[in-house]
Structure 1
Amino acid sequence: SVPGTKVELTVSCRNLLDMDTFSKSDPVVVLFVQVSGSSEWKEFGRTEVIDNTLNPDFVRKFVLDYYFEEKQNLRFDVPPGSHSALFGAQDFLGQAFVALGEVIGSQRGRLERPLTGVPGKRCGTILLLAEELSNCRDIVTMQLCANKLDKKDFFGKSDPFLVFYRSNEDGTFTICHKTEVVKNTLNPVWQPFTIPVRALCNGDYDRTVKIDVYDWDRDGSHDFIGEFATSYRELSRAQSQFTVYEVLNPRKKCKKKKYVNSGTVTLLSFSVESEFTFVDYIRGGTQLNFTVAIDFTASNGLPSQPTSLHYASPYQLSAYALALKAVGEIIQDYDSDKLFPAYGFGAKVPPDGKISHQFPLNNNAENPSCAGIEGVLESYLQSLRTVQLYGPTNFAPVINQVAGTAAQVTDGSQYHVLLIITDGVISDMLQTKEAIVTASSLPMSIIIVGVGPAEFEAMEELDGDEVRLSSRGRYAERDIVQFVPFRDYVDDSGNQVLSMARLAKDVLAEIPEQLLSYMKTRDIKPRRADPE
């Protein structure tokens, strides 16, 4: 189902429990989303940690797809921040359960819930604000500097930073950006930063944008220097001239007759560019080309034995076939010709029993494409009957094969996705790393599904989510590998449909971002879709 709309959640807490001995708590909020149709919770994301406060207003938002027809259960946990992902039960500050529809349906999209979960203690409350995002996709880059700000620190000058707020329809303000702190100066120049237009004004160009100037203090009690207001429209005029704003402190203005201002802020530069989405490229005609590579090494076990990972009983497909079907059935919707090259690797192939690391499953070297996912499955089962499982497990040949094809068309009209299904014992790690680093500058992504009980450390290393992959001193230009272990998706109830839907969703989750990162680094814009 297509999401009705995207909703941005802003999170604040009030009167949190104080857990730190010498200072206040350092809170962070972790959002978990309940997996539909199950009791499982999955971490969706977390806010930044805010030091030393019991009343945090978090800058980092959660943007959720909102489905009107689904009950989307959310759980907000408040561990103590302490900048670590691990936290003990003893430090827990509370949690709240809420359905997304409740937040959207509450008055003005605001919901306040008590935090619970610490026996015998009042944990304070969590405030949620839901705002539907307009489909404005522009992104602004701007840079500001200030002059002659008020001196706030006893011993030195100030340590100024800016906080941006967008105004809401009900006249309240929501924090949307904080600049970095520039130390010990009354004339700071802040780094340029980018922010989506919808975050700044939700697409309403005349909505007030309020900017506060603060002096940073280590203990979290930042001193207010002053404020000024503007709007997106006013900021955007700065493309042709410098705009100077007076920073005013209302309390000083009331007290001092001769008060002029607390300094000035100058907008040095302001530029806008459009952000394209995955859908823009698909609608503009970018084709996804899907290639499959299946592991035929002896470590999988004899296909005729029930213990083999390739064993297909009359009642159930093998793990290989299930993974192929789950991913393929979604990807094939984006591939116009529905023809999928499919290879096996690590087997002795007839007639002469040579070991091959990229033999066509349909036995046609001239044209290894199979018709649809069903065609791939058919050829896969046929190959199991004719080849001899052997070894070693080499990924590089098939990666280089797809990379060769991807290198032929780099204008953004073609994007390649290689699905490798393997039991994970890889023999040519160095060559594979080299192949992936080379492929990372091409229009392609690699999905690896690990089947069976092996430890998949090598695969985790190839999936550069944590550490960018490198080979012989060269780093991958972008992360193009997504690895998932099949066993995480085999659910005990035997509900294959649901577990395969989850597998497909996780496996394909990074493809849109990976495609966008390729297009962006090459400055390729989507072609205009022909009007219907």
Structure 2
Amino acid sequence: MSNIYESAEATLGFISSPCLTKVELRVACRGISDRDALSKPDPCVVLKMQSHGQWFEVDRTEVIRSSSSPVFSKVFLVDYYFEEVQRLRYELHDISSGNNGLRDADFLGAMECTLGQIVSQRKLTKALLKQGNTAGKSSITVTAEELSGNDDYVELSFSARKLDDKDFFSKSDPFLEIFRINDDGTESLVHRTETVMNNLSPVWKSFKVSLNTLCSSDHDRELKCTVWDWDSNGKHDFIGEFQTTFKEMRAEQEGKQIQWECINPKYQMKKKNYRNSGVVILNHCKIIRMYSFLEYIMGGCQIQFTVAIDFTASNGDPRNSCSLHYIHPYQPNEYLKALVAVGEICQDYDSDKMFPAFGFGALIPPDFKVSHDFAVNFDEDNPECAGIQGVVEAYQNCLPKIQLYGPTNIAPIIQKVASSASEEMHTKEAMEYFILLILTDGVITDMADTREAIVHASHLPMSVIIVGVGNADFTDMQILDGDDGILRSPKGEPVLRDIVQFVPFKDFKHASPAALAKSVLAEVPNQVVDYYNAKGIKPKCMSDYESTRAFSP
């Protein structure tokens, strides 16, 4: 077993290399071919990064409806390492209406480059390729900007009053775009609000944006705001615009009412009695201190790591060398490889190194009834094992004592960990964050209950990692990973945040444990940060500090 422990320790290498800086990447496309004579594509760009020969999804943009030349408001944030060749792949997909997932999407083309190329040129434009050939006249432009040291965010909320009506048979469908004016006079899209249908006095949802993205942390930098009337054909009607600065917005914090006249320059020139095309109001402006993953960890937050192992009959008889649970004297099986690769990383963030380990889908002694959340060490009062080695030993010891059975139900184990996470939530402190690693060989049979359990868990300080072991078709499991659309409970309630990462182990059979660990754990730091920051919970050792900084005028 020592060989997999040594290789798992090597996985720490991907977080030990010092990050030179963080870079923001903005994306726009041009010349995307129409679907047909009557409809334009609904584009979305997925950013992937190569590691250990595998492509991993980093993030994706929003979907822009009916657009051949989209400018995406989503900003990708990546770490830049000067000493590494960081290969990036941008994939353009046409997302079918009513579905934000990639499963039914049309692949329109891709562009590969390195982060170094983008950083050195600051603005990189390349043709999109499809099966090695150019995808029509379509191209993608990526713009890079170094993120300054200021990690503050601002929460903004806008509404409007008496906007111009641009529609004949109904009222306008307005949305607001905010642009930052750069030093060279170019504009960078900062945020695009949702569209409020059939309303001349819309109230748009509040949003958070970093001060670096909004104004490059320069409070006097000019911002241009534009209001549009949304049209389904993508040819939106211009309503009006105005200029402002973040310094002007900050006055709202002092109790002043901040509003701007929305001006259409053409109307202003042609119409003698023209006053404005409506008024845009700033309802809320709050500066928020955003804490990092390391600040929470260094503030005393512990990662509580729990393992759940599939003992259903589809794994095969453990005594048979073809079984996924077969214990080979020299070669660890896939369950052990996945367990050690992920567990070795997590145990460094848990001071007592005691890990609960559970099994599901087996008939267990003494009465051999099926259980979906039994302690692998058979001590229901204390299911914890000493270190990852303790989990491995408990797993190996329990195999001869149980009978593999079924079905593959994982909702009970998610609910069990959620119960502990719920207790932590009520402390309102950043002391314990729970990670549940589920190792399973097939598609689960309690999908409805599992979706319900995940939606509930998305409100709690916990994340769920699912590794699919073996060669089964795991396509249906992708629904649980919020990267591909929004997961909803059977009642239609959406997850509050994306907490599930699903990875098929077969994709990493010929890669190092580092590749698997990096893939399944990459989202955890952001999930920890998103949970505590959204709750307004500061790192423990910083609880005496103010959450907002004082700004000089």
Please, what TM-score do these two structures have when normalized by structure 1?
Answer: 0.80
State the distance in 1 between where 2:174 and 2:496 align. 36
Are 2:263 and 1:244 aligned?
no
State the distance in 2 between where 1:404 and 1:454 align. 31
Distance 1:457 1:31, change over 3 A: closer
Contact 2:316 2:323 in 1 (8 A): yes
| Aligned residue identity for 1:97 | E
Aligned residue in 1 for 2:8: none
SS of the aligned residue for 2:538 comes to coil
Q: 1:342 aligns with which of 357, 366, 387?
A: 357
Aligned residue in 2 for 1:62: 76
Distance 1:476 1:355, change over 3 A: farther
Larger CA deviation: 225-234 vs 251-260: 251-260
Aligned residue in 1 for 2:519: 506
| Aligned residue identity for 2:87 | N
TM-superposed deviation, 1:282: 2.1
State the distance in 2 between where 1:460 and 1:17 align. 28
Superimposed CA distance per residue, residues 6-43 of structure 1 (whole angstroms, 9 cap, x where no aligned partner):
322222334x2654654684362534435224275758
Distance 1:514 1:40, change over 3 A: closer
| Aligned residue identity for 2:503 | V
Q: 1:450 aligns with which of 450, 468, 474?
A: 468
Q: 1:319 aligns with which of 308, 313, 334?
A: 334
Are 2:396 and 1:381 aligned?
yes
Contact 2:42 2:95 in 1 (8 A): yes
Aligned residue in 2 for 1:13: 29
Distance 1:46 1:527, change over 3 A: same
| Aligned residue identity for 1:453 | N
Alignment of 1:19-30 (within 5 A): 19=34, 22=37, 25-26=40-41, 28=43, 30=45
State the distance in 2 between where 1:266 and 1:237 align. 13
Contact 1:288 1:416 in 2 (8 A): yes
Superimposed CA distance per residue, residues 367-410 of structure 1 (whole angstroms, 9 cap, x where no aligned partner):
443322122223322333x5143434565665555445445443
Q: 2:223 aligns with which of 201, 204, 209?
A: 209
Contact 2:175 2:228 in 1 (8 A): yes
SS of the aligned residue for 1:142 comes to strand
| Aligned residue identity for 1:204 | D
Cα RMSD (Å)? 4.1
Aligned residue in 1 for 2:184: 170
Aligned residue in 2 for 1:227: 241
Contact 1:27 1:56 in 2 (8 A): no
Are 2:431 and 1:413 aligned?
yes
Contact 1:10 1:58 in 2 (8 A): yes
Tell me, which stretches of 5 or more residues in structure 2 are unaligned? 1-13, 545-553
Distance 1:364 1:51, change over 3 A: closer
Distance 1:57 1:404, change over 3 A: closer
Distance 1:487 1:236, change over 3 A: same
Aligned residue in 2 for 1:490: 509
Alignment of 1:260-409 (within 5 A): 261-345=276-360, 352=366, 354-355=368-369, 357=371, 360-362=375-377, 367-384=382-399, 386-393=400-407, 395=410, 398-399=413-414, 401-409=416-424
| Aligned residue identity for 2:467 | V
| Aligned residue identity for 1:372 | G
Superimposed CA distance per residue, residues 120-161 of structure 1 (whole angstroms, 9 cap, x where no aligned partner):
9971543321112334331312223144x5666678776544
Distance 1:343 1:230, change over 3 A: same
Alignment of 1:178-197 (within 5 A): 178-181=192-195, 188-197=201-210
Q: 2:115 aligns with which of 100, 103, 107?
A: 100
SS of the aligned residue for 1:487 comes to helix
Contact 1:110 1:127 in 2 (8 A): yes
Contact 2:470 2:506 in 1 (8 A): yes
Contact 2:158 2:203 in 1 (8 A): yes
SS of the aligned residue for 1:374 comes to helix
SS of the aligned residue for 1:229 comes to strand
Aligned residue in 1 for 2:88: 74
Superimposed CA distance per residue, residues 429-454 of structure 1 (whole angstroms, 9 cap, x where no aligned partner):
78767766765655433333332234
Contact 1:12 1:126 in 2 (8 A): yes
TM-superposed deviation, 1:237: 0.5
Are 2:159 and 1:144 aligned?
yes
State the distance in 2 between where 1:407 and 1:221 align. 48
State the distance in 2 between where 1:430 and 1:25 align. 35
| Aligned residue identity for 1:484 | V
Larger CA deviation: 258-267 vs 130-139: 258-267
Distance 1:361 1:216, change over 3 A: closer
Larger CA deviation: 211-220 vs 353-362: 353-362
| Aligned residue identity for 2:306 | T
Larger CA deviation: 407-416 vs 111-120: 111-120
Between structure 1 and structure 2, the one with the greater Rg is 1
Please, what TM-score do these two structures have when normalized by structure 2?
Answer: 0.77
State the distance in 1 between where 2:453 and 2:193 align. 40
Contact 2:315 2:325 in 1 (8 A): yes
TM-superposed deviation, 1:191: 2.0
Distance 1:473 1:527, change over 3 A: same
Aligned residue in 2 for 1:528: 541
TM-superposed deviation, 1:283: 2.6
| Aligned residue identity for 1:271 | K
Contact 1:146 1:265 in 2 (8 A): yes
SS of the aligned residue for 2:294 comes to helix
Distance 1:355 1:69, change over 3 A: farther
Aligned residue in 1 for 2:4: none
Contact 2:470 2:505 in 1 (8 A): yes
Number of equivalenced pairs: 514
| Aligned residue identity for 2:434 | H
Contact 1:143 1:267 in 2 (8 A): yes
Alignment of 1:48-59 (within 5 A): 48-53=63-68, 55-59=69-73
Aligned residue in 2 for 1:123: 137
State the distance in 2 between where 1:20 and 1:137 align. 42
State the distance in 1 between where 2:452 and 2:63 align. 35
TM-superposed deviation, 1:468: 4.2
Distance 1:455 1:176, change over 3 A: same
Tell me the percent identity. 43
TM-superposed deviation, 1:230: 0.8
TM-superposed deviation, 1:288: 1.2
Contact 1:297 1:390 in 2 (8 A): yes
State the distance in 2 between where 1:103 and 1:171 align. 20
SS of the aligned residue for 2:51 comes to coil
Contact 1:300 1:308 in 2 (8 A): yes
